[in-house]
């Protein structure tokens, strides 16, 4: 009798992108359209953004993102930039945790836990970095 090997085919691969949008230059329409283009061309399922400020006008020129993705924003309470995670609507998203302070979004996509973390910069105080 010959031993047989089998591969598990129940797994799903997620296309995930992380992008720091450099908040000091603003979250321009051009940046948003580039993100949309990447989502389409790379068939992305999850997009994690850092240094963004999301409002009602964000992605207004991006029909694909508006219609095909759930948008989870974590804006800073003091007006600074925060994080945002976009998850394609074809995926089951659960246990969404938006941690106050604008730097962390945690969510489960198809049973996989994903984190979007925007760490304090090196110019931040040691205590700020360690407290995160």
Residue 38 or 80, more confident: 38
Cβ-based burial of 9 (10 A; exposed 0-12, middle 13-18, buried ≥19): exposed
Residue 81 or 80, more confident: 81
Q: Are 59 and 32 within 8 A, CB to CB?
A: yes
Separation CA 110–CA 121 (nearest Å): 32
Determine the pLDDT at residue 30. 92
Q: What strands, in cross-sheet order, belong to the sheet with 46-52?
A: 16-20, 46-52, 82-88, 69-74
Tens-place pLDDT, residues 35-77: 999 999 999 999 999 988 898 899 999 999 999 999 999 988 7
Residue 131 or 113, more confident: 113
Q: Which of 68, 75, 73, 65 is nearest to 35 (CA)?
A: 65
Determine the pLDDT at residue 3. 46
Question: Which residues is 83 bridged to in the sheet?
Answer: 50, 74
Determine the pLDDT at residue 27. 85
Residue 95 or 125, more confident: 95
Predicted confidence (pLDDT) at residue 129 exceeds the cutoff of 50: no
């Amino acid at each position: 009798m010959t031993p047989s090997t089998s591969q598990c085919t129940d797994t799903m691969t997620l296309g995930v992108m992380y992008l720091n949008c450099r908040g000091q230059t603003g979250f321009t329409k051009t940046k948003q359209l580039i993100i949309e283009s990447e989502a389409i061309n790379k068939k992305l399922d999850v997009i994690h953004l850092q240094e963004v400020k999301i409002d009602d006008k964000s992605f207004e020129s991006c029909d694909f993102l508006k219609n095909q993705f759930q948008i989870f924003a974590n804006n800073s309470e003091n007006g600074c930039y925060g994080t945002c995670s976009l998850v394609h609507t074809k995926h089951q998203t659960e246990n969404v945790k938006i941690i106050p302070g604008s730097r962390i979004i945690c969510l489960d996509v198809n049973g996989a836990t994903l984190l979007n973390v925007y760490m304090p910069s090196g110019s931040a105080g040691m205590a700020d970095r360690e407290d995160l």
